[in-house]
Structure 1
């Protein structure tokens, strides 16, 4: 069934929402947003398993989605496995695919949100019985804009090597770049400059590290 006034390219994703919700189960929320760049607005046109976020068709998209859609590179279409929270505090692991028209403009987004609530409960239980400290809560804070999103994911990458920046070796920096690349952070335009400032190196050094990481993956 065709939905009124919705671009055809977005129509294609609406049946996918229903299909994947039935395939993946009740812990996965599936959403299609329509994004109007001229009006700087985005709203839900299809949603399944809405009990996770208590959202409905017609609700506005979070500011983070609009910020990322404005910042993502023209040759990139997705941001994967970033951590957000619902308004009620449910932790989510989210991935977003941006939908473009024939002119390459972003007109929508297809989002998959995994509800981590039960996983967190299990982690907390296991942590209690094994006396393991809970993971830094910063990883689960909702990133309100692109700068905050980059701040969180870069901090997570630094925690992977667990050293102060002045003591980082080249291998450490390559691991940081690899972590960010694996999480598609370089799809965001400001990542190179932000990371260069954080590591006190030039942006060209980051480009070289990224080339080296991707070459080693081949």
Structure 2
């Protein structure tokens, strides 16, 4: 067992406690972000989103790291949608080692289906009782912005270093860029430059691969 996985295993009792506290609608997932392509190492109540050990992360970059509300290594209460249109209330906390490096993430996913039905019933019985007051979106601190950049750098490094292929062939590089694109890596500032440098190719080449992938996806959707 790797040292990182050994450290992350210490969070399993916490994950189980949360899941048992809030019941079967609450899924808790632990990710090993030093193994991005197969980051899920533990899950409980996985029927909520279908997360399984050996899968990769999904919402870490797009919903968490890029959120204006992400600060101090956590984001609580954001919403995601399942393929069957259920609303999931999610929270993510990054996990660091004793050297202050991000090594993992603990994610809580709560199926709001039952809660939504209860809310609808209350709204019908007592109209206007629950009025939501929009909260102001806090801006990320300078330390958090720097932390996000460091996490992005580390994710790119880990993704490339754990690629199974030799990365000498064009198709291997395209598939790697496809994975990073799907995970939202290229939405992060400076990521194209970093990936190009790490792969030993030009920025123009990275953009041409992304354009090729976009056209392939559009072709698949129309066929």
Q: CA deviation at 1:42?
A: 5.5
Partner of residue 20, structure 1: 18
Alignment TM-score, normalising by the size of structure 1: 0.52
Partner of residue 32, structure 2: 34
Q: CA deviation at 1:30?
A: 0.8
Is residue 2:112 matched to residue 1:116?
yes
Instruction: Work out which of the residue numbers 2, 5, 11 in structure 1 matches 2:2.
Output: 5
Partner of residue 55, structure 2: 59
> Structure 2 matches for 1:32-111, cutoff 5 A?
32-36=30-34, 40-41=36-37, 43-62=39-58, 64-67=59-62, 76-111=72-107
| SS of alignment partner, residue 18 of structure 2 | helix
Q: CA deviation at 1:12?
A: 1.0
Q: CA deviation at 1:102?
A: 2.9
C-alpha spacing 1:68/1:115, structure 2 compared with 1 (3 Å): closer
C-alpha spacing 1:51/1:41, structure 2 compared with 1 (3 Å): same
Q: Is the 8 A contact 1:28 1:113 kept in 2?
A: yes
Q: Separation in 1 of the partners of 2:3 and 2:116?
A: 37
> Structure 2 matches for 1:193-204, cutoff 5 A?
none
Q: CA deviation at 1:10?
A: 0.8
Q: CA deviation at 1:105?
A: 2.2
C-alpha spacing 1:107/1:87, structure 2 compared with 1 (3 Å): farther
C-alpha spacing 1:91/1:72, structure 2 compared with 1 (3 Å): closer
> Structure 2 matches for 1:131-150, cutoff 5 A?
none
Q: Is the 8 A contact 2:64 2:92 kept in 1?
A: no
C-alpha spacing 1:96/1:44, structure 2 compared with 1 (3 Å): same
Once the two structures are superposed, residues 135-169 of structure 1 have per-residue CA deviations (whole angstroms, 9 ceiling, x without a partner) of: 9xxxxxxxxxxxxxxxxxxxx9xx83xxxxxxxxx
Is residue 2:169 matched to residue 1:186?
no
Alignment TM-score, normalising by the size of structure 2: 0.51
| SS of alignment partner, residue 180 of structure 1 | coil
Q: CA deviation at 1:71?
A: 5.3
Alignment gaps of 5+ in structure 1: 136-155, 161-175, 191-218
Q: Separation in 2 of the partners of 1:68 and 1:43?
A: 17
Q: CA deviation at 1:69?
A: 6.6
Q: CA deviation at 1:189?
A: 3.4
C-alpha spacing 1:104/1:34, structure 2 compared with 1 (3 Å): same
Q: CA deviation at 1:55?
A: 1.9
